Amino acid sequence: MAVIFIIIEGLTLGLTTIWFALGALIAMLAAAIGINIIGQIFVFLIASAVLVYFTRPIAKKYLKIGATKTNVDSIVGMIGIVTKKIEGFNTGQVKVAGQIWTAKSQDNKEIHEGSQVEVIKVEGVKLIVKIKKENE
């Protein structure tokens, strides 16, 4: 079973079955010392559960699995400059971090060219922005 779980882990690379592979190895050690099949299954289940519960969060933290920020994720909260006027219910353009984005006003208000805006969220390939207040 350990070999099967290791092969599956090698194919998925998502830290999904490695814990069961380790549990199977521990159960194999239990078999080597003479524990019956029911005991081996019990050892496998307990060892796998303990490994998942205690080590998976640590592994995810240090290996950063599934936590890669993309440009879109990191742009929320940044300040940009309106390069093409954003009209009421229409889009304009905003330059953020050196890139030009299509943008829409959060409250559908007009935002003039040259205004500073804050990125509130990203919807598809469009930024939703609000005017940056002077005292922020």
pLDDT in tens, 34-61: 999 999 999 999 999 998 888 877 777 7
pLDDT tens profile 76-108: 889 999 999 999 889 999 999 888 999 999 998
Residue 105's pLDDT is what?
93
If asked whether residues 15 and 49 sit together in one domain, one would say yes
If asked whether residues 57 and 110 sit together in one domain, one would say no
Higher-confidence position of 4 and 42? 42
Tell me: pLDDT of 68 over 60. no
If asked whether residues 48 and 75 sit together in one domain, one would say no
Residue 9's pLDDT is what?
77
Higher-confidence position of 62 and 17? 17
Q: What are phi and psi of 115, to 5 degrees?
A: -75, 145
Residue 71's pLDDT is what?
58
Residue 22 forms part of a structural domain: yes
Residue 58 has a CB neighbour count (10 Å cut-off) of: 9
If asked whether residues 59 and 6 sit together in one domain, one would say yes
Token pair belonging to 101: 């984005």
Boundary (domain end) residue, out of 31, 63, 95: 63
Residue 70's pLDDT is what?
60
Boundary (domain end) residue, out of 35, 63, 91: 63
Token pair belonging to 80: 């940009």
- Which range marks the domain in which residue 127 is found? 71-131
Residue 13 forms part of a structural domain: yes
For residue 98, what is the domain's CATH number? Answer: 2.40.50.140
What is the distance between the alpha carbons of residues 73 and 52, in angstroms, rounded to a whole number?
28
Tell me: pLDDT of 65 over 70. no
If asked whether residues 25 and 75 sit together in one domain, one would say no
Q: How many helices (H) and strands (E) does the chain have?
A: 4, 5
What is the distance between the alpha carbons of residues 71 and 85, in angstroms, rounded to a whole number?
23
Token pair belonging to 52: 């998942």
What is the distance between the alpha carbons of residues 71 and 78, in angstroms, rounded to a whole number?
11
6 — pLDDT class (breaks 50, 70, 90): confident
Residue 136 forms part of a structural domain: no
If asked whether residues 40 and 77 sit together in one domain, one would say no
